[in-house]
Amino acid sequence: MKQEDPSDFVQAPGDRLTRAAGKQLAVYGVAAVLLLTAAMFLLNALAGLTSSAAGMSRMAVDVENNTITSYLRQEPPQMNSMLATDAVSGMVLAHVMEGLLRYDQYGELVGGVAERWQLEGNTMTFWLRDDARWSNGEPVTAHDFEFAWKNLLSPSVGSQYAFILYPILNAEQANNGEVPIDDVGINAVDDRTLVVTLATPIAYFDRMVAFVTYLPANEAFYRQTDGRYGADADEMLYNGPFMMTSWVHGASMRLEKNPYYWDADRIRLDAINFAHMTSDSSTLLNLFKDNQIVMADLGSEMLEEAMLQGWSLNQFMEGTVFYTDFNHRPERLTANLNLRKAMALVHDSGELVNKVIKLPGYLPGKSLFPVWLPGVDDNFREEYPAPVYQRDVAQARVYLQRALDELGLDRLPPLVLLTGDTPVSRIQAEYYQEVFKRNLDIDLVIDAQIFRQRLEKMTAGDFDLVAAGWGPDYNDPLTFGDLYASWNLNNRGRYSNPALDAQVRIAQNSLDMTERMRAFAEIQRIIHEDVVMMPDYERGYVYVTHPQVRGIVRHVIGAETDFTNAWIDAGE
Amino acid sequence: MLWYTLKRLLQGVITVWFIATATFIGMHNVPGDPLSGERATNAAIRANLEARYGLDRPVTEQYFIYMRNMLRGDFGISYTQQNREVNDIIREHFPVSATLGVLAVLFAALGGILFGALTALFRNRLPDYIIMFLVILGISVPSFVFAALGQLSLVNINSVLGFSVLPVAGWGSVSHMLLPALVLGLGTMAYMTRLMRSSMLEVMSSDYIRTAKAKGLSPTRIFSRHQLRNAALPVITVLGPAIAAITTGGFVVELVFAIPGLGRYFVQAVQQLDYTVIMGTTVFYGAFLVFMVILVDLVYGWIDPRVRLQ
């Protein structure tokens, strides 16, 4: 008998064994699917504690329950208003808390918990309304403000935003541990009157009071949370239009209308679900397309599709100014004015924004002061247009030669450009590398670092140029204007100029708005002429909103996205 | 066996200690300051923050304090979320990653065994060609591409059908799990298919299969008892490391599908220099990985008597 090769069994196509095995495999396949399904349900039950969407509608707009669903860019890192520093926490806080003053849907400053307020000399008095309530029904009193403000000024609390209270008498000294906290000029005269004594009279204090750090806290409740204030939905007390009813960390958050809110009639939504926490723009766009969230920011590659779909597009200047800062420490080459001038003359923010970054909503930078800042009657930049350098390579080379002569160099050694690790900062750095090499034969070494490391290097002065950004804290040009004051710790290039310092003092202390704006214009001019920095761009977003949801407002100051005025237009 | 188990566990503890120490040293030598924020802080506030996190002490002392706390199971408080304990972060987010990971591994293992067997049975015929082509795709294309593609196709399917077949992203129900788990398990599934295919081919041509056939056993019995079972052994070997790798490596998939897993914290902590979260997640993941490897070794000895004898 012929010996058969064992592999022939396998290869014989019509073999009985293969057919039987195939059938058997099909049975196993079905079993596997069943097993997987069972496993999914089992795992789901086991992980029930962490489920996020429980009880949440999957639809962007739930007309029946008068509820909308949106997203948060990230998990809010800090919901304790005394410690919060970031935009996402600030945005949620603006929905669930209310300070003495707030911004309305037009961005105007209006009364919140305060009914009226008055600045007299260096005393600011706030009269609180009697119907403001915490979400446990207790009244919101002047003591709640006094407690929160003094608490965050205590050095032991370590609030990074304590500086925003420094206009108050003795606040800075108490924060440094130099005077007792009781000496700070915050005084609740009675439950409904808060008297704030300022170090010197300032014209823009009311604008600062609308900031997150100035929110109140209920002392009894705060003490009872034992250090966990703001860590969970039930570890907070709310006095805003909404209250947080659930917070699944990293996953979702639900805000419901606060029945105790004094102006509850103004609020038209019953609930807001933040069903997703992600910053991935394509995920967000997919969620929007799938009708699961009411709004989404768009990247440039998504614009065309959005146009085709006929979505309603909106634009929003987010408020932050990005610029290339120079290191002004005397030992650095960039301390040389002619070198900075040479660079400024080839720097072209229009080219950067329109041909390199190409993101929708971005505006070429022209000044440290962004376009949206208010002046006396109009926007500051309308009243005092920013002087700009036009690209002039020949002139730039003249300045470069002067710089080389002053420095006693034949050729400039490579300069270090410190930058971030985001795609935009990388492409920007590479663009500058090319521009300065081509026009001035200056070599740039790119030093891309993650945020904290970049910050450390900026503070240590370990750079020649750095890609920096500055976002506003309050609605006054001073939030940008004092950045280059010689005493400002955020002036990481250590620029120091008595003429600029003098203007900052005027802007800080004058009560005359016209005089203050003139000081800012002077600061703008000095920064331009001394080439303290080179403005790159102002960041903006193009975003889409759900056609049935009206009244979504986006603010530069306060809540980045404000749903408190939103409502569902079911007719659409 | 008991002696062996103990020995492996001791080795595991030493490995975890080594991971913890190396991470601690590495972390403290990375440039950057965990307490810095966008706004510069004054000296007094800084000193207070340093005292709160014990950063004012010498690094060696910090190390011993940290190790002592770690033995007590206390990983400290997060730097970025100053009112949250690292233990809470792990407790709340690891189950999510684990759920996703276990499911993905189940997908991978079951799919790998089934498709591997199928390709072996139909070697050099159409099903084999198609599946092996897909396997090459699965191995070479990274998971974030599959994640994005999967999500995009889901959006299109949903919009064509006019209702939501599966949610596009998010977490919380069975329907949320399906696509991410599949995407996460795809690479491993492809790898396991290849493994199963070659192992199955080897088994099919072995002597004992011929004996079984000669004995007159039914084809069903030969296939399920003798071929499939023996061929699946190598797949089980890689299961343990695969569970650990998938559970800890799901960061991208978690990001794309907006899933609140631990992977996100793991990566963000490094970017933000959140010392306590870096330590907590790294030590936890390290211990998990070590434990999984030990477990597989033990289980393997239990399944295959030949290993036990050595």
CATH code assigned at A173? 3.90.76.10
Whether the CB-CB separation of A74 and A274 falls below 8 Å is answered with no
Classify residue A265 by burial, with Cβ atoms within 10 Å: 0-12, 13-18, 19+: exposed
Specify whether A389 is located in the same domain as A484: yes
Picking from A234, A257, A274, the residue at the C-terminal end of a domain is: A234
Question: How far does the CA of residue B309 sit from the closest CA of chain A (Å)?
Answer: 31
Residue with more model confidence, A485 or A3: A485
Which distant-in-sequence residues (6+ apart) come within 8 Å of A354 by Cβ?
Answer: A364
Interface membership of A309 toward B (CB under 8 Å):
no
Specify whether A504 is located in the same domain as A438: yes
Which distant-in-sequence residues (6+ apart) come within 8 Å of A400 by Cβ?
Answer: A338, A339, A342, A412, A440, A442
Span A508-551, pLDDT tens digits: 989 999 999 999 999 999 999 999 999 999 999 899 999 999 99
Whether the CB-CB separation of A178 and B45 falls below 8 Å is answered with no
Specify whether A535 is located in the same domain as A560: no
Could you list the pLDDT tens digit for every one of the 310 residues in chain B? Answer: 788 889 989 999 999 999 999 999 999 988 778 887 777 777 877 888 888 888 888 999 999 999 999 889 899 888 888 888 899 999 988 888 888 888 899 999 999 999 999 999 888 889 899 999 999 999 899 888 999 899 989 988 888 887 778 888 888 788 888 899 999 999 999 999 999 999 999 988 888 888 888 888 888 888 888 888 888 888 877 887 788 778 777 888 888 898 888 888 888 888 888 999 999 999 998 898 888 888 877 877 776 767 665 5
Picking from A185, A218, A234, the residue at the C-terminal end of a domain is: A234
Specify whether A32 is located in the same domain as A142: no
Sheet holding A252-257, edge to edge: A61-62, A67-72, A271-277, A252-257, A242-248
Specify whether A65 is located in the same domain as A186: no
Specify whether A365 is located in the same domain as A458: yes
Q: Judge whether residue A312 has pLDDT over 90.
A: no
The answer to whether the CB atoms of B272 and A85 lie below 8 A apart is no
User: Quick one: CA torsion of B199, B205, B206, B207, rounded to 10 degrees?
Assistant: 170
What is the C-alpha to C-alpha distance for residues A150 and B94, in angstroms, rounded to an integer?
38
Please report the pLDDT score of residue A80 as a whole number: 94
Whether the CB-CB separation of A40 and A245 falls below 8 Å is answered with no
Specify whether A104 is located in the same domain as A172: yes
Span A156-214, pLDDT tens digits: 888 888 989 999 999 999 998 899 999 999 999 999 999 999 998 888 899 999 999 99
* Residue A384 identity (one-letter amino acid): Y
What is the C-alpha to C-alpha distance for residues A109 and A117, in angstroms, rounded to an integer?
12
User: Per the domain annotation, does A81 fall within a domain?
Assistant: no
Please report the pLDDT score of residue A48 as a whole number: 58
CATH code assigned at A376? 3.10.105.10
Span A396-418, pLDDT tens digits: 999 999 999 999 999 999 999 99
Specify whether A526 is located in the same domain as A545: no
Question: How far does the CA of residue A133 sit from the closest CA of chain B (Å)?
Answer: 25
* A–B CB contacts, 8 A cutoff, strictly below: 257
Q: Residue for token digits 């999914």?
A: A40
Other beta carbons within 10 angstroms of residue B278's beta carbon come to: 25
User: Per the domain annotation, does A25 fall within a domain?
Assistant: yes
User: Per the domain annotation, does A491 fall within a domain?
Assistant: yes
CATH code assigned at A313? 3.40.190.10
Q: Judge whether residue A111 has pLDDT over 60.
A: yes
User: Per the domain annotation, does A291 fall within a domain?
Assistant: yes
The answer to whether the CB atoms of B33 and A17 lie below 8 A apart is no
The answer to whether the CB atoms of B177 and A44 lie below 8 A apart is yes
What is the C-alpha to C-alpha distance for residues A290 and A276, in angstroms, rounded to an integer?
14
Residues of chain B found within 8 Å of residue A283, distances taken between Cβ atoms: 151, 168-169, 255-258
Specify whether A28 is located in the same domain as A41: yes
Residue with more model confidence, B171 or A146: A146
Query: Considering its fold, how many domains does chain A have in total?
Result: 3
User: Per the domain annotation, does A85 fall within a domain?
Assistant: no
Whether the CB-CB separation of B42 and A175 falls below 8 Å is answered with yes
Residues of chain A found within 8 Å of residue B256, distances taken between Cβ atoms: 280, 282-283
| Pairing between β-strand A415-419 and β-strand A444-448 as defined by DSSP bridges | parallel
The answer to whether the CB atoms of B34 and A452 lie below 8 A apart is yes
Residues of chain B found within 8 Å of residue A449, distances taken between Cβ atoms: 31-32
Instruction: Give CB contacts under 8 A, 24+ apart, made by A258-267.
Output: A258/A96, A258/A135, A260/A133, A260/A134, A260/A135, A260/A136, A260/A137, A261/A98, A261/A133, A262/A129, A262/A131, A262/A132, A262/A133, A266/A241, A266/A564, A266/A565, A267/A241, A267/A242, A267/A564
User: Per the domain annotation, does A519 fall within a domain?
Assistant: yes
User: Per the domain annotation, does A82 fall within a domain?
Assistant: no
Specify whether A298 is located in the same domain as A431: no
Please report the pLDDT score of residue A532 as a whole number: 96
Q: Is A107 left (phi over 0), alpha (psi -120 to 50) or beta?
A: left
Average pLDDT rounded to a whole number, residues A34-55? 69
Radius of gyration of chain A (CA): 29
Which distant-in-sequence residues (6+ apart) come within 8 Å of B46 by Cβ?
Answer: B35
What is the C-alpha to C-alpha distance for residues B168 and B155, in angstroms, rounded to an integer?
7
Question: How far does the CA of residue A450 sit from the closest CA of chain B (Å)?
Answer: 6
Residues of chain A found within 8 Å of residue B171, distances taken between Cβ atoms: 50-53, 251
Residue of A9, A453, A490 with shortest CB distance to B31 = A453
Classify residue A468 by burial, with Cβ atoms within 10 Å: 0-12, 13-18, 19+: buried
Specify whether A529 is located in the same domain as A552: no
- Residue A203 belongs to what domain range? 90-234
Whether the CB-CB separation of A193 and A130 falls below 8 Å is answered with no
Residue with more model confidence, A50 or A475: A475
Q: Judge whether residue A5 has pLDDT over 70.
A: no
User: Per the domain annotation, does A84 fall within a domain?
Assistant: no
Picking from A198, A215, A234, the residue at the C-terminal end of a domain is: A234
- The three-class DSSP label of residue A257 is strand
Specify whether A151 is located in the same domain as A168: yes
| Pairing between β-strand A465-470 and β-strand A533-545 as defined by DSSP bridges | unpaired
User: A54-58, A144-148, A382-386, B173-177: which range is least confident on average?
Assistant: A54-58
Whether the CB-CB separation of A216 and A186 falls below 8 Å is answered with no
